[in-house]
Amino acid sequence: MASNQTSLHDAKFSIPVHDVEQQTSLELKEKDFDYSKRSQWLRAAVLGANDGLVSTASLMMGVGAVKQDIKVMILTGFAGLVAGACSMAIGEFVSVYSQLDIEVAQMKREKRRVAGEDQDQEKEEDGDEKESLPNPAQAAAASALAFSIGAMVPLLAASFIRDYKVRIGVVIGAVSLALVVFGWLGAALGRAPAARSSVRVLVGGWLAMAVTFGLTKLIASSVREILHQFDSLIVVTGSPPDSVFSCCASNCNPSGSTWASLLMR
């Protein structure tokens, strides 16, 4: 019995040190990873996708509030896609390049200040600083690509639906789903709360579409009413009250709702 206890005390058990070290290194890498480095392209991509979704859908709904023709809505959305992608890319490139100039100037000032320190340490710090510098071309490309992807959602949703009310409903549903997905994706990549980000993006998109649709509908109704009154005045007097419109009135038959019909064609 005593000999058995002695053998147990003297026994050596092997521990897989390699696996423990590997697991520890993985945990340290995960813990030490700086998610803020992703902000250079993540911010541009999320902003571009949301902007493409909301602005293109709002444009299509705003035009649809006045002109319910599917061709007009699709052409408006496509024009918004091209213009928005170019605008986002150029704006992001200029903005990030300005930030790059500021950070490079700050690095040069820091190098002059620590010129007397160890050269090896200075080279290592320079490498880390260059790695963290923003990339204007990367940000511009990410912004333009994300805007185009986002803008394609309402365009594809509205392309094959003839009925106006069904088309608007499908566009709102598709855009809402895409807003939630993009909000969740941005939060997941940055390790931020996903639910809060998705709700924030969704509510912002709904608000933008509602304001655009409502204001366009209101302005269109007001302009239509003004032009109807103007046509009535032409019918009564036989000529427009302002000489500015005389050349236009001479080419039109002053009866019915001429001016309103011309504007709303």
Model pLDDT for residues 152-197, shown as the tens digit of each residue: 999 999 988 888 889 999 999 999 999 998 888 878 877 778 888 8
Higher pLDDT, 88 or 188: 88
From CA 216, how far away is CA 198, in angstroms rounded?
27
Would you tell me how many other CB atoms lie within 10 Å of the CB of residue 57? 32
What's the whole-number mean pLDDT along residues 206-217? 89
Please report the pLDDT score of residue 249 as a whole number.
46
- pTM beyond 0.85, yes or no: no
Helices H, strands E: what count in the chain?
Answer: 10, 0
3-state DSSP call for residue 64?
A: helix
From CA 202, how far away is CA 63, in angstroms rounded?
22
Please report the pLDDT score of residue 25 as a whole number.
47
Please report the pLDDT score of residue 174 as a whole number.
93
What are the residues whose beta carbons fall under 8 Å from the beta carbon of 46, sequence distance 6 or more?
146, 182, 185, 186
Higher pLDDT, 4 or 233: 233
Residue 42 contacts residue 190 (beta carbons within 8 Å): yes
Q: How do residues 8-57 score in pLDDT, each as one tens digit?
A: 455 444 445 444 444 544 444 444 445 455 555 666 677 788 889 999 99
What dihedral angle (degrees, nearest 10) is formed by the CA atoms of 11, 12, 15, 17? 170
Higher pLDDT, 25 or 139: 139
From CA 156, how far away is CA 160, in angstroms rounded?
8
